[in-house]
Amino acid sequence: MIFKHLTIKNFRNFKEVDIDLTNRNIIFGLNDIGKSNFLAALRYLLDRNYRRDGFVDSDYYNKDTSEEISITLTIQIDDNEDDSDNKKIFKMMKGAITSDAEVVFIQLNATYDKNKLVGEPNLFWGIDLNNLEDIPSKQQYFELDKCINVVYIDSSIQLESTFKKYSKEIFKKESSLTDEEREDLTTKIEELNDSVGDLSAIKTFEQEIVEEYKKFRDEQGFNVTIKSEIEVSNLHSKLTPYILNEVCETYPTAGDGRKKILAYTLLTLENRRQEEEKINIFLIEEIENHLHRSMQIALSYQIFSDEVFKYLFMTTHSSLIVSQMDEVNLIKLFQDCLVIGKSHTYVVPEEYKKLKQKLNQNLTEAIYADVVLLVEGPSEKILFERVLHDKCQRYESLGGYILEVDGINFSEYYNILTYLGIKVIVRTDNDLRFNKSRGDVNLLGVNRCLSLISEDLVDNLQINDIDEYEAEEEYRKDVKREIYDDHYSEKIDNLVMSNIYLSRIDLENDLYEAIQERMDDFASYNNSSKNGIDYLQEAKMKHMIGLCKYMDINDIDVIYNHDRFECIRELVSLCCQ
């Protein structure tokens, strides 16, 4: 069973949105963009308790109650005997599905009744979207509800109420207690109830009640007794979870983070028991609130490795909560006149499995932005943030973000962010790889850029003087200048049209073209005999931080307006649109 698609029409802030799905879906977006409403649509469709009160007028898009609300979920199924959830679907839908069906639709429609002031949900299913059948129901209980179990979790979860709800199950079954345990417990409870009733404070209180009653009505023979009514059946309400410390002493689970983790534990434990009978669908909303960093990472490991969460829809603002994600569908909701959404199935590439946490955290930080500038590493980010401090200090609040790929292919970020409708700017070095035996160089930088926009890669470039190329740094720089200025200048100009910017040589040399005197002064100031380029490259990040402190406003203006740093101006321009 695989979730394939969700369509929401005329519901809250969604005029119409169509989203591709898979079984694990992560929903991103700015505040008030509709992430909670996205989950609410699924709850109306699949959760009986949420659905039973119907829709009020504010649930209709712009309160337009003349149009019906429609929510349609597409599910892919097959006759795979190993998939127990497919069997549940076939059993649930019975006559509404054929044995060779590959896709089923579940749909909710709600027309607003102006007399009753409510939109009553009507549910349909079938294998033909244009000819769906009513889902059999009894009062407000649909056949669908026998098979689907929606587990909604948010950051407001309370341990006490969650524990009371699920502790009922402890003594519910006859098999929960042996006959000997039940008899012994019943005897002790009766003794406790009698002891409570015999307490002097209780007897005094009984007498006070009788005396006060007789002031209202002096009734012969009137008396009152107060009894303790603890029973095996209500014993669960007196249970409280405690945590044992290393010396087996107990203390109440008072910390918010520990309480929440324990509450989530109870939810998964209880719903794990229902897996054989129902299909568990977890809807999780911003559970990172009040959780320490380590607890968020622990939750991430559990959510993305535990099969109990195999059907998941989750909203979050935390890169830590999704640090362990893999084989998920990323859904970005954003405003473009209307609220729309784009999705992309994300699988961590095999070569980055060991770097999954770094890749995922970088990616999820960028997903919240509207414009992302991809750069090689920390030196670029330090320099660009220094320039932006003077030119557009609040660029991040305007939707901008600088992401350093730092050893991970640009394409891993570029493709996903582009699919999700995020504007991406790239700034990378004009790297070459020399092959002495062939006497040529692979144009790594140029081809890196071309591959991002699916353009044909260029052939290796033959080197005229191999010995000089190996021996002379300046000769190697001249080769890069020729590539940039002559050989592939037209292709490089075309890349700019896609917001992909290639260095003429590299960051330090490009910066030297802009502020040569300042860089040389900075090297001298630090008692170095090297020129500004060599000194900067000697300890890239450390010296870049120092240079950024050393620069003045005139240097910032020169860099910002220089051709080599057009990527910064483009970031500001796109953020300010």
Domain end among 312, 343, 374: 343
The number of CA neighbours under 13 Å toward the Cβ of 27 is 28
Residue 414 maps to a domain = yes
- Same domain, yes or no, for 339 and 402? no
Instruction: Indicate whether 404 and 531 sit together in one domain.
Output: yes
Structural domain includes residue 350: no
- Condensed to tens digits (0 to 9), the pLDDT of residues 459-497 reads 999 999 999 999 999 999 999 999 999 999 999 999 999
Residue 507 contacts residue 429 (beta carbons within 8 Å) = yes
pTM equals 0.85
Do 286 and 328 share a domain, yes or no?
Answer: yes
Question: Residues 62, 134: one domain?
Answer: yes
Report if residue 455 sits inside a domain. yes
Pick from 343, 364, 390: which residue ends a domain? 343
Among 343, 366, 382, the domain-final residue is 343
Total structural domains in the chain? 3
Q: Are residues 149 and 165 in the same domain?
A: no
Residue in this structure with the two tokens 């609300």, named with its chain if needed: 69
Query: Are 410 and 441 contained in the same domain?
Result: yes
pLDDT at 174 over 80: no
In a domain, 147, yes or no: yes
State yes or no: pLDDT of 528 exceeds 80. Answer: yes
Q: Rounded to an integer, what distance in angstroms lies between the CA atom of residue 313 and that of residue 25?
A: 5
Q: Has residue 562 been placed in a domain?
A: yes
202 and 147 assigned to the same domain: no
Average pLDDT over residues 385-400: 95
What are the tens digits of pLDDT across the range 224-274? Answer: 999 998 888 888 788 887 766 655 555 555 567 777 888 888 888 888 888
Euclidean distance between CA atoms 161 and 530, whole angstroms: 68
Domain range holding 311?
Answer: 2-155+268-343
Residues 384 and 478 in one domain: yes
Give the chain's end-to-end CA distance (angstroms, integer).
Answer: 43
Are residue 455 and residue 520 in the same domain, yes or no? yes
* Full DSSP string of 88-117: HHHHHHGGGS-TT--EEEEEEEEEEETTTT
Do residues 443 and 386 both lie within one domain? Answer: yes
Instruction: Assess if residue 272 is contained within a domain.
Output: yes
| Same domain assignment for residues 336 and 428 | no
CATH number of the structural domain spanning residue 338:
3.40.50.300
The string of pLDDT tens digits covering residues 123-163 is 999 999 999 999 999 887 899 999 999 999 988 888 777 88
Tell me, yes or no, whether 349 lies in a domain. Answer: no
Residue 183 belongs to a domain:
yes
Q: Which long-range contacts (CB under 8 A, 24 or more apart) does 177-182 make?
A: 177/232, 182/232
Q: Are residues 366 and 332 in the same domain?
A: no
